Amino acid sequence: MIHMALFLLGEKMEKIEDWLNSRIGLNFRTGLERMKQAISLLGHPEKACPMIHVTGTNGKGSTVAFLQHLFVQHQKRVGTFTSPHMETVRDRICLNGEPISERDFSRLGNQVHQMEKSLLETHDQLSYFEILSLIAFLYFAEQDVDVALIEVGIGGLLDTTNVITGSVSVITSLGLDHQETLGSSLESIAEQKAGIFKAGNPAVIGPLPEVARQVCRKRARELNIDLYEYGTDFSLKDKVLRAGQHYWSDLELGLPGTYQEENAAVAVEAFLLFMERQSWQPDQSLVKKALAQTTWAGRLEKICHGLYLDGAHNLPAVKRLVEFIRQEEDKEILILFGALKRKDYSEMLQYLQEELPQASLSLTSFSYDETIGEQEAGDLPFIRDYQGFIRDYLQTRHSHSLLFVTGSLYFIAEVRQFLKG
C-alpha cells in the first residue's frame, strides 16, 4: 500500500511538472490582467499574509536569505519564493527554508490547473513563472505564514509578482541587465524596479546609482511613502551596522564577499521596518546570530577547499566576483565560465580578462537552450566536458589554487547537481 501511494504521488508530481514545463518560454509582457484574474478565481491567496517584495539587478536572493534567517531566528513562520532553483523546482517555494513537499506541490499545482480552465475563457494560458507564483501564494496562505518573502522575476512594474502589496518594498541594487525587457538606461530600469512601491507602505533601497535614486525618490513622493536609503538612513561598514536607532558592532556575515555587507544592511532595514509595522520586538542578539548563520546556494558558495560556485550572470555581478578574487593574493586563479547567449557575455568576459590578466579563464557549455559554445570562445580555451575538467582539478589541485565556476545561475545549478552526485 505504501509503495502504491508513493507511486501515485510520483505520477501526480510528474503530470504537474509536465504541464508546468510545457509553459517554459511563454514570457508575457502584456500587463498583469491575466494574473489579476487568476488570483481572483483562486480567492486572492496573496492577501492572506503580509509580504515583503524584493527586486534588484543583483542581490535579491542573498537579501531574501538574510531576511529569512532574521525572521526564523525570531520564531516566525517564513515563506520564500525565489528563482531560479538549484536542484528541483520545489526549491523556489519554501517554508522556513524547507522546500514545499511533492504532495503539496502536486495538489496545489492541480488546483491552479483546474482554475486555468475558467481563466482560458477570457485570457491566454498561464506562463511557467505565473503558475509557480500562484502555487506559492496558495501554499503560503494555507501554511498561515507570518511573512512571505517574494522575489521579483524580472523588473518589477510588469513582473508577475506585482499583483501583491508588499508591507515593505525593497530594491537591492541596480545595473544594466535584461535591457531587451526593461529598457537600455539606468533611469528606465529604475522606473521598472520602483514599480513595486505601493501606497501606504515604506520602501528600502540599496546603494543605487544617483540617477536611480532620483527615480525612486520621485516615485516615493508620488505615493507619499517613506523611502529608506543605504548610506543615509542605514549602513554596514567595517562590521558596524547602523539602522535608525539600532546599532551593532563586530558583525560576522555567513555569506562571503564585501558586497554582502550591503545586502545584509538592506535586509536588516527591511526586517526592522516590517517588525515595527507588526508591533513585534526585534532581539539585538538574534539579529547578529541570523546574519552570521545565513547561507545561500550558488552565491560565492564554497563547495570545498579551492572550489567556489558563483552565479555572476551579468556585468555588475562579475565586478563583485572580481572584488572577491582580488582579495585572494598569491593564489593561482582558474575561472570556468558558462552563460546564455542572450546575456552580454562578451562584456563580462572582457572585464574578467582585463581585471584578472593572470587568471586562467576558460569557457564551457551546459545542458540548457542557447548557451555559449566553442564558436563564442574565440581565442579563449573551450572546455567540452566541464565535468571532467572539474574532476581533474579536484584530483590535482594544490593549496595555492582556486577554481571559480561562474556565469549563468542555470549553469551553477547544473554544476551543483553534478558535484552532489
pTM above 0.85, yes or no: yes
Residues linked to residue 227 through DSSP beta bridges, in sequence order: 203
Q: Which three cell numbers stand for residue 208?
A: 543605487
For residues 245 and 111, give the distance between their C-alpha atoms in angstroms, rounded to a whole number: 46
**How far apart, in Å, are the Cα atoms of 165 and each of 21, 212, 396?**
28, 22, 52
C-alpha angle 292-296-300 in degrees, rounded to nearest 5: 95
**What is the reported pLDDT for 60?**
93
Distance of alpha carbon 61 from the chain centroid = 3
Nearest CA among 177, 181, 155 for reference residue 344: 177
**What is the reported pLDDT for 6?**
47
**What is the reported pLDDT for 227?**
98
List the pLDDT tens digit at each of the 421 positions of the chain: 555 544 455 567 788 888 787 877 766 556 899 999 999 999 999 999 999 999 998 899 999 999 999 999 999 999 999 998 888 999 999 999 999 999 999 999 999 999 999 999 999 899 999 999 999 999 999 999 999 999 999 888 999 999 999 999 999 998 765 444 455 688 888 999 999 999 999 999 999 999 999 999 999 999 999 999 999 999 999 999 999 889 999 999 999 888 899 999 999 999 999 999 999 999 999 999 999 999 988 889 999 999 999 999 888 899 989 999 998 878 999 999 999 888 788 999 999 999 999 999 999 999 887 888 888 888 899 999 999 999 999 999 888 999 999 999 899 999 999 998 7
**What is the reported pLDDT for 239?**
93
Nearest CA among 45, 192, 32 for reference residue 124: 32
Nearest CA among 99, 109, 157, 98 for reference residue 131: 109
Domains of the chain, start order: 2-293 (3.40.1190.10), 301-420 (3.90.190.20)
Task: Name residues whose C-beta falls within 8 Å of residue 140's C-beta, 6 or more positions apart in sequence.
Answer: 45, 48, 49, 79, 81, 95, 148
Nearest CA among 379, 344, 343, 375 for reference residue 361: 379
Nearest CA among 274, 379, 246, 215 for reference residue 63: 274
Query: What is the DSSP code (8-state) at residue 232?
Result: T
For residues 391 and 410, give the distance between their C-alpha atoms in angstroms, rounded to a whole number: 20
Query: What is the DSSP code (8-state) at residue 162?
Result: G
